[in-house]
Structure 1
Amino acid sequence: MIRLSMMMGRTAAWVACLVLGLGAAVQAGTVDVYSNNVGGDAVVGASPTVAIGSSGWYYSDVRVGGTAGIDSTFARSGNGSVLFQGDASAGSYKADVSYSTGESLGKLSDLSSFSYDWYRSAASTNNGIQAPSLRLLLGVDGVYKGALVFEPYYSLTTPGDVATDTWVHSNIFDPNMYLWSNKDLPFQEQFNHDIAFWKSEIGNYDILGVSSGIGSGWYGTSIAAVDNIHFGFGEGPGTTYNFEVGAVPEPASVVSFLIAGGFGLAGAAYRRRRAR
């Protein structure tokens, strides 16, 4: 019994270390969001909102001609990213990925970091100034009021087409990074307001979600991707969402499996020793 207790104790300690390791990975500020399917996803136009596991992320507003899905075509920080495609034959298309918990993520005034990595393929035939956008979805008392939209083109120091066939990191808190507003938000169709301006003007608005995507008024073929969408509040480090191909067990499932398997092996070893 002493040997069994020692073996079970070692297994429990190993599992505990794994749990602590998993917790540390999340606390470090990076969360891996895995595709629903092992080989990657492809949600095609006119599809309903599709949850990406239980991550809080969704394929959303994918309209006719648009496609969104985590796959390995333009892998960024690992084996994947979110791939967006728009089909020119369908006219104006749209495809987004969005994050929401069903409640306020925090006040706009408390937002302290907001960034993403984006990619535009040179094979795209849509207007050369168009690249995946990044949005803050704002509301008051739970009612959606509109989005603050970042499009890379409006923050170029030299006007022209955006970069192609290379990953670009855009940090909305850097100088000369501008967001425009839509729907019921003030100062619409003004493209020279940075995040500090918006925090001072409508800082009391709630951030109901975050989204990124292509389309709405775009024509021609679009092939683009995003990864490492990051946001944070206050003095915390914030969270970076890294999109990866292939499902992995939830941490709780992993721990349950290891506990069951680990103790089972320990018991089997003990029984073999007694049988000798």
Structure 2
Amino acid sequence: MSATPTTSASPAALVMGATGAVGKALIRELLADSPPAYSKVTAIVRKELDYDGPNRDRLVQKIVDFENLEKDKDVFAGHDTMYCTFGTTKAAAGSAAAFEKIDRDYVLSAAKLFHTANTDTATTQRPLQFLYCSSGGANARSWFLYMRVKGEIEEAVKNMRFNRVGIFRPAFLVVEESRGGQKRVAESLLRPVMDNGVARWMGLATPVGAVARAMKTWALKANAASGNETLEHKDIMAASGL
């Protein structure tokens, strides 16, 4: 069932995927304001994120076992918004089965724990909401593994009946730094073409910073209607103001 409004609480955010390209940009975005938008930002991670930006004291990092999130379920409580930028690729995972487990099953397990831990703490002013960074072309009925898994995640989180669900579908992600030494041949070949204003204008490339800002803007929108919303590249760019 959907979250039932009760009493007010200071806004707090949970981030899954904080060590990735979009996640790092998101952490900076959530903590950039003075005073920051959230009283606390909790990042659930395998290893700690190296963050030395503003409002560092409001960043809480929790090392968790994604294979067995249930034992770390207490970390999900006390947050009204969960941002998920978590993801991998088949090549990085090692196989199709491993990709589905990491990319889909870990995310859905976390989403369920977040919903269960906070359903009774949502308020009219601070609804329980889940934001997911998906991919352009995501479709649960796609023949392509990556797009199918992203689409399956989208449908599943929508059916969990959060007060609000925001699905963000960026185009080719223009990153701000190398991805931890990971060798992605296609990305290295495409980046010179995609990392320019024309590609963004044509809807072919989305900067990770734009995704991060759009997610924060969407989550903090005043008097937002309940329900599910999907934002494609042009919507992300408009929401980000970039």
TM-score (norm 2): 0.26
Larger Rg: 1
Higher relative contact order (CA 8 A, sep 6+): 1
Higher relative helix content: 2
TM-score (norm 1): 0.24
Relative to its length, the structure with more strand (as a share) is 1
